Amino acid sequence: MNFTLHIWRQSSADSEGHFETYEARNIPGEASFLEMLDILNDSLVTDGKEPVAFDHDCREGICGSCGMMINGRAHGPGRKQATCDARMRMFEDGQSITVEPWRAKPFPVIKDLMVDRRAFDRIIQAGGFISARTNAIPEANAIPVSKPAADEAMDAAACIGCGACVAACPNSSAMLFVAAKVSHLALLPQGQIERGDRVQRMVAQMDKEGFGNCSNNYACEAECPKEISVTHIARMNREFLRAKIYER
């Protein structure tokens, strides 16, 4: 398969970026999108040119570091997948493909398709944890957790922090990410001690980082590779109001 690639090139956060056009030839249909970029970079290096920088790690759809906009969609065509899960057979032979980094002020470009997502780390550091000592591994049945609560907590904990929700949102809101982290701890007994402080600290840090407000257009849920539900945003809002009431 052959493709025409329009890829965003930017040498650093302080420099101006621009699109460059490349031809990707003889790409196997079963190759992943990242493997296609590897093939392109091999040809660029052979020609003495600078390869395209992009984030990746597990290449198994688990870590979320491979996030990029492909033809205007976070992680490319399809649903419930990271960029590394996208296969070139999902595109038409000869198709033009535009590849960009996440577009959000809190995610400044490091180089080309790489962005700095440490804003998410700072939100987690603000409250996405429990300080209760666990000591040795506890007996599984020592702390009863209802099946519905356990299932919903696990669904929220599936968030991989890739930033697709922010990139897809017209306001660059991080509500879905923060809500997932708040929700999965709020549903478990171990997370009850810091329940009120947690949501207030994480929301305050989210605002400090410069993320936008949620406007309920559900683009975040539509593009999330783990299909995190926007119902977690509703829970986070309730947790925040609850914390403010108890505080007063």
Domain CATH number, residue 97: 3.10.20.30
The CATH number of residue 184's host domain is 1.10.1060.10
How far apart CA 99 and CA 74 sit, in angstroms, is 10
- Residues 206, 170, single domain; the answer is yes
Q: How many domains does the chain have?
A: 2
* Residues 189 and 239 reside in one and the same domain: yes
Q: What is the DSSP string of 159-215?
A: ----SHHHHHSTT-B-HHHHHHHHHHHHTSGGGSTTHHHHHHHHHHHHHHHT-B---
* pLDDT mean for each 10 residues of the chain (248 residues): 98 94 97 97 96 96 94 93 96 97 96 97 92 70 86 95 96 97 92 92 97 94 96 96 87
**Boundary of a domain, candidates 111, 132, 161:** 111
- Asked whether residue 233 falls in the same domain as residue 142, the answer is yes
Whether residues 171 and 221 fall in one domain: yes
For residue 115, how many other CB atoms are within 10 A of its CB?
24
What is the per-residue pLDDT for 128? 87
My answer on whether 97 and 135 are in the same domain is: no
Domain's final residue, options 80, 111, 142: 111
102 CB-near residues (< 8 Å, 6+ apart): 67, 68, 69, 74, 115, 117, 163, 166, 167
Residues 18 and 104 in one domain: yes
- Shared domain check, 130 and 188: yes
**Domain encompassing residue 18:** 3-111
Domain endpoint, select from 81, 111, 141: 111
Q: Are residues 131 and 94 in the same domain?
A: no
Whether residues 124 and 232 share a domain: the answer is yes
Query: Mapping DSSP to helix (H, G, I), strand (E, B) and coil, where does residue 111 land?
Result: strand
121 and 242 assigned to the same domain: yes
pLDDT at position 27, please? 97
The token pair that represents 78 in the structure block: 């399809």
Could you tell me if 107 and 121 lie in one domain? no
- How high is the pLDDT of residue 134? 63
Query: Which pLDDT score is estimated for 140?
Result: 64
Q: Are residues 181 and 122 in the same domain?
A: yes
pLDDT in tens, 141-196: 777 889 999 999 999 999 999 999 999 999 999 999 999 999 999 999 888 889 99
